[in-house]
Chains A and B, each alone.
Chain A
Amino acid sequence: MENKNNLDLNNGEVAVVHEGTAKRGFFTRIIDSVYSFMDKTHNKIIVAVILLAFVLTVPLWADNYILQVAWNAMFYMLLALGCNIIVGFTGMVDLGFAAKFAVGAYTSGILVHTFGWNFWLTLPIVVIVGMIAAVLIGGPALRLRSDYLAIVTLGFGEIVRTVARNLEITGSASGLSGIKRPYIFGTQLTRIWMWYYLFVFLVFLFVVASNRVKDSRFGRGLAYVREDEDAARAMGVNVVKFKMWAFIVGTVMGAIAGAFYVMQMAAVSPNSFQFTQSSNILLAVVLGGMGKVPGVMAGAAFFSIFPEIFRSIGEYRMLFFGIALVLVMIFRPQGLWPERRRR
């Protein structure tokens, strides 16, 4: 039964499967056994509790380096969850997600650093600026074919970086530094473990938001758009409006993540927003299975921790990474953890 189901589900990829049937077998079997394990509710709960316990206890045993890496993983999860709304839920291609967190980071950074605002008060401004940025990028591109969005987001990423490098207010090439860290209940957030917990909490909020979007009329509308734009239109979905709002929600999430990022780093510079960042975020979403929230989080964790683990192989790591990416796409194009539903 289980097996038959798989065959059916793979129907769409038949053409792809042919060439790789032999090599797929082993890989697929491992992943499928993980699925059937995770399908049982109590197994799911056990795994979730263990993971949560692990995540919450990291600061108790980890040194500062590991904590920094763990914090970075949380940060990547925030970005990937934001990007997931655009790419995973709606099926749009965004090649410049780093620009969205740059927008948030600079907005907050400048307001705190140059104008002496309280960080928490900058958040509403970050949201508004994020919305404006989303409308500016999405407005011209969303009405057109999806590839145009890809190139426009890519271009916007470069524009943001160049502008940041050239303006006085963004601190030019060296960026802003020595930004005063914010207070929470009278305590200044100076230690990495504080930031780690704050980011874990933010990830929790983003997950709740993602799940709420997913199980709503809005989120279903996005899924309809992703699956078949014409049919979505026929069912009464205003495709451009839904895409626009998915873009806005994703961008605002990215901007918020950026605002917190700049406060932890106490600095920001144009080099934090390279294309590599954008592509890593996109890949986390795609390899995580396009829309599946836990998958996307796993993808983000992988992409932030991976370079650290493979530091020893140094310059070869991105090469292997590229090769792995191509192989995964050829042999398992629906991502390592694809969206699937069971009873």
Chain B
Amino acid sequence: MALMEVKELTMLFGGITAVDHLNFEVEEDSITALIGPNGAGKTATFNCLTGFYVPTSGEILYEGKSLVNVPPHKITDRGIIRTFQNVRLFNNLTVMENVMSGCHSISKKFVGSALLRTPSERREEAEIKRIAEEAMEYIGISDLRHEIAKSLPYGTQRRVEWARAIASKPKLLLLDEPAAGLNRQEKEDLVTLIRRFRNELGMTVFLIEHDMGMVMDVAEKIVVISFGTKIAEGTPKEVQDDPLVVEAYLGKDDDEEEAV
């Protein structure tokens, strides 16, 4: 059974159909990409998967249970973590504190134990710090732990966001246009990193992206949407050769690359 199944997903904004009866699956341990030209409904789909939007109709199953009408924080509790298209760090906090936020969903202590500073609370704090250190180490940003997030260059902020995501030890990692704004070198690092997330950390990775080059490189399965509906699905090779995809997407790819 697939880790996540999207069935007949439909999302309307006023009279505009952003996503139209979309169906696809994300297999466990796979790297799956959802691609499409700008305005194809990628972000709307993504926000439905993460609970930020409530779909108009349709069903999203994760490990056989629905994600529809589940608030974002509960979705995170179930082992799904997302990143943001334009990097949303906690700007005035340090890198360390940002990465510690990843541990939020896997820790429990609340007001009472914070005020009393119980031994179990201190143990949990130590554990959170250890996991955060580990995540920073893994991404290679340990030296920056005391820097203020907003003072970092964009590419580095992205890395902080990845560290924050893996600190939550997710089963499913959802990346929203992870390559946007990165240079060639950073994109190559990203591809390596995504593979390592899957191979070493055992995460299933689902990304939306319009940078075709990178997606072809990293994804094992690609779902292509245009105007909210699926027009192709398959391996990078299959998708690349699909005439519909060429028409809807690849023809415009050059312009878009430049726009980025």
Contacts and interface: CB of A to CB of B under 8 A. Distances in A.
A236 B76 contact: yes
Nearest to A223: B93
Interface in A321-343: 339-343
B66 interface: no
B192 interface: no
Given A5-B151, A236-B168, A217 B128 contact: yes
B205 interface: no
B92 interface: yes
A14 to B, nearest CB: 12
B63 interface: no
B151 A9 contact: yes
A221 interface: yes
Contact of B121 (A5, A209, A216, A233): A216
B114 A219 contact: yes
Interface in A217-255: 217-221, 223-224, 227-228, 230-239, 245, 248-249
Contact of A232 (B50, B101, B109, B146): B101
Interface string B114-158: 110100010011001000000000000000001010110000000
A243 B189 CA distance: 38
Contacts of B114: 212-213, 216-219
Contacts of A227: 90-93
Interface residues of B, number: 42
Contact of B97 (A223, A232, A234, A236): A223
A221 B114 CA distance: 12
B187 interface: no
Given A209-B115, A234-B76, A224 B101 contact: yes
10 nearest CB pairs, A to B = A236-B105, A216-B114, A236-B76, A227-B90, A8-B151, A231-B88, A233-B72, A235-B101, A218-B114, A236-B104
Given A216-B121, A224-B104, A249-B111, 17 more contacts: A8-B150, A11-B150, A12-B150, A212-B115, A217-B128, A220-B101, A223-B90, A224-B93, A227-B93, A232-B90, A232-B101, A234-B76, A234-B84, A235-B73, A236-B105, A238-B73, A342-B146
